[in-house]
Amino acid sequence: MSPIDRRLHPVRLPDAWAPDSWRARPARQLPQYPDAGALEGVLRELRALPPLVTSWEILALKQQLAEAQEGRRFLLQGGDCAESFDACTSEVISNRLKVLLQMSLVLVHGMRKPVVRVGRFAGQYAKPRSADSETIDGLTLPSYRGDMVNAPAFTAEARTPDPRRMVKAHARSAMTMNFVRALIDGGFADLHHPEYWNLSWVGHSPLADEYRRMVEAIGDAVRFMETLSGEEIHNLNRVDFYTSHEALLLPYEEALTRQVPRHWGWFNLSTHFPWIGMRTADVDGAHVEYFRGIRNPVAVKVGPSVAPDALLRLIDVLNPEDEPGRLTLIHRMGAAHIAERLPPLLDAVRRDGRRVLWVCDPMHGNTETTRNGYKTRRFANIGRELELAFELHAAAGTRLGGVHLELTGEDVTECLGGARELTETDLERAYCSTVDPRLNYEQALEVAMLIVRKHGA
Ligand code: PEP
Ligand code: MN
């Protein structure tokens, strides 16, 4: 056991906590279900269904995040803003896995350290919204809150929260997870054959040459090592892949919160790594109450309005014993605000000696709406926020240990700019997201290359 293994265990059960103790706290962003009986029936069904992940995997991830806190790994977390039931297809799942694997290859090669791979998938079906309702032509209906809650079409039927959608979300998550596990176990992620991960664009992208050179260099290194040792390096044929989602819909999360035979305490077994969104991170609120009692590693989004004192209180509640790997803070300030807002938080946490993993989400503080009505983000702002994040951490004596991105393996046109210089007119061509704009595969890979340029070994 490494020293960290032993340090993962000093925690004890939190006081006066139960999987449903959040119910006594003010809960933001939860839907109003019209039929309490139907909701209760669904929760009973969910409580009996098998979980999606295991406590062993969760603790293994916590260990890796503890290593990332110490600078020995880098976290890559990415996927859709909102998964949709319709996009639970083999192509979407495998393309997303490919782009995440390619990005991690770029990061491993450039940073010379292992990457912790975490997908925003297999459960990213519930969304917080800035308004509870939407009015179009005099008709007011509840906002769309993700496929786990209601449907995007603007009709009363589609927008009425339906608890059966939670069962469907559980099933879709299980299918996604099953396919990802099968691909990885089957050698999809084999470093001997990174060409398996190529998406059709690789041949004609402006970034293709740089990527190809890197793949060749890795292939050479692998062959060199194997020649030296006289045998094949077997652990290169599989990688660990973990899942995460915003644990917003607390009734669902509670139903998947379980005790297991060989580990003490309670685990959220719907995902390895749940996070609290910016809109539900009040220290006295229901979401923080729920999160404080589970043993998973947890993350919190930290926006520009969070004050240093409030952040320290949140850390006290979520990680009172300073357990390694337990707490990740994902800052999402926006390129225009990060230089002013981030340093006071970094200083406060460092001065107090709190152990956290700092991660940058350069997406959510850089959202804007174009003249033709598209919610978008400029690649230049995303890149700028990331660069500033590295510089501000270096200046503060803290470490940026990962990135959190919204991306897809599909050829969408949702974010502006990038190597192909997408314009506002391009957005009309393939804008598919039902909520926030995602980097397409090319822009995502470009982010990975930018990180390496900024932070490469
Ligand atoms: C998200 O991650 O999709 C999201 C809503 O982020 P935030 O809570 O940071 O706004
Ligand atoms: Mn989003």
Task: Output 205-214 pairs: Cβ under 8 A, ≥24 positions apart.
Answer: 205/419, 205/420, 205/442, 206/419, 206/420, 207/419, 207/442, 207/445, 207/446, 207/449, 210/449, 211/102, 211/106, 211/445, 211/449, 214/105, 214/106, 214/109, 214/110
Task: Give the pLDDT band of residue 353 (cuts 50, 70, 90).
Answer: very high
Ligand 1, atom 1: closest residue by C-alpha: 81
pTM here? Answer: 0.94
| Atom of ligand 1 minimally distant from the CA of 361 | 9
Q: Residues of the chain with pLDDT > 70: what percent?
A: 93
Q: In this structure, which residue's CA is closest to atom 3 in ligand 1?
A: 81
Asked if residue 321 has pLDDT above 80, the reply is: yes
Task: Please give the average per-residue pLDDT across 370-374, as a whole number.
Answer: 90
User: Is 332 labeled as ligand-binding?
Assistant: yes
Q: What is the mean pLDDT of the chain?
A: 91
> Does the structure show a pLDDT above 60 at 8?
no
pLDDT: is 208 or 29 the higher one? 29
- Hey, which residues does 330 pair with through a beta bridge? 301, 359
Per-residue model confidence (pLDDT) at position 5: 46
- Cα 360 to ligand 2 centre (Å): 14
Q: ipTM higher than 0.95?
A: yes
Amino acid of residue 32: Q
The number of the ligand 1 atom at minimal distance from the alpha carbon of 124 is 3
Counting ligand 1 atoms within 8 A of each CB, the residue from 120, 244, 278, 404 with the most, and so the one to mutate, is 278
Distance 279 CA to ligand 2 centre (A): 12
Residue 25, SS3 per DSSP: coil
Residue of higher predicted confidence among 187 and 274: 274
Nearest bound ligand to the CA of residue 275? 1
Whether residue 47 is annotated as binding a ligand: the answer is no
Residue 441 or residue 344, greater confidence: 344
pLDDT at residue 196 tops 80: no
pLDDT tops 60 at residue 349? yes
Q: How far is the CA of 457 from the centre of ligand 1 (A)?
A: 30
Parallel/antiparallel/unpaired status of strands 115-119 and 242-243? parallel
Position 224 scores a pLDDT of 75
* In the predicted structure, residue 335 carries a pLDDT above the cut 90: yes
Q: How far is the CA of 149 from the centre of ligand 1 (A)?
A: 17
What was the pLDDT predicted at 399?
A: 97
Range from 57-61, 247-251, 453-457 carrying the lowest mean pLDDT: 453-457
Q: Among 50-59, 194-203, 400-409, 413-422, name the one with the lowest average pLDDT.
A: 194-203
The answer to which of 153-167, 198-212, 257-271 has the lowest mean pLDDT is 198-212
Nearest CA to ligand 1 atom 10: 278
* pLDDT higher at 413 or 214: 413
Pocket of ligand 1 (CB under 6 A): 81, 128, 246, 277-279, 301, 332, 364, 436
User: Which percentage of the chain shows pLDDT scores above 90?
Assistant: 76
DSSP 88-125: -SHHHHHHHHHHHHHHHHHHHHHH-S-EEEEES-SS--
Q: Which pair of structure tokens corresponds to residue 439?
A: 């980097």
Judge whether residue 280 has pLDDT over 60.
yes
Distance 364 CA to ligand 2 centre (A): 6
User: What does the pLDDT read at residue 199?
Assistant: 65
**Residue 212 pLDDT:** 78
Calpha distance 447→444 (Å, rounded)? 5
Question: Binding site annotation covers 96?
Answer: no
Q: Give the lowest-confidence range in 238-247, 248-257, 326-335, 340-349.
A: 238-247
Mean pLDDT of all residues in 67-91: 97
220-267 pLDDT per residue, tens: 777 777 777 777 655 556 678 999 999 999 999 999 999 999 889 999
436 is in an annotated binding site: yes
Q: What SS3 class is residue 292?
A: helix
> What pLDDT is recorded for position 6?
46
**Dist. CA 104 → ligand 1 center (Å):** 22
Mutation pick for ligand 1 pocket among 29, 245, 301 (CB with most ligand atoms within 8 Å): 301
Which of these, 291, 26, 25, 30, lies nearest to 145 by C-alpha position?
30
- pLDDT, residue 181, reads 93
pLDDT (0 to 100) of residue 4:
45
pLDDT at res. 146: 98
Adjacency order of strands within the sheet including 275-276: 242-243, 115-119, 74-79, 400-406, 357-360, 327-331, 298-302, 275-276
Mutate to test the pocket of ligand 1, among 143, 279, 382, 406 (most ligand atoms within 8 A of CB): 279
Indicate which atom in ligand 1 lies nearest the CA of residue 435. Answer: 3
Q: Which amino acid makes up residue 322?
A: D
Taking the centre of ligand 1 as the mean of its atom positions, its distance from the CA of residue 275, in whole angstroms, is 10
The answer to whether 120 is a known ligand-binding residue is yes
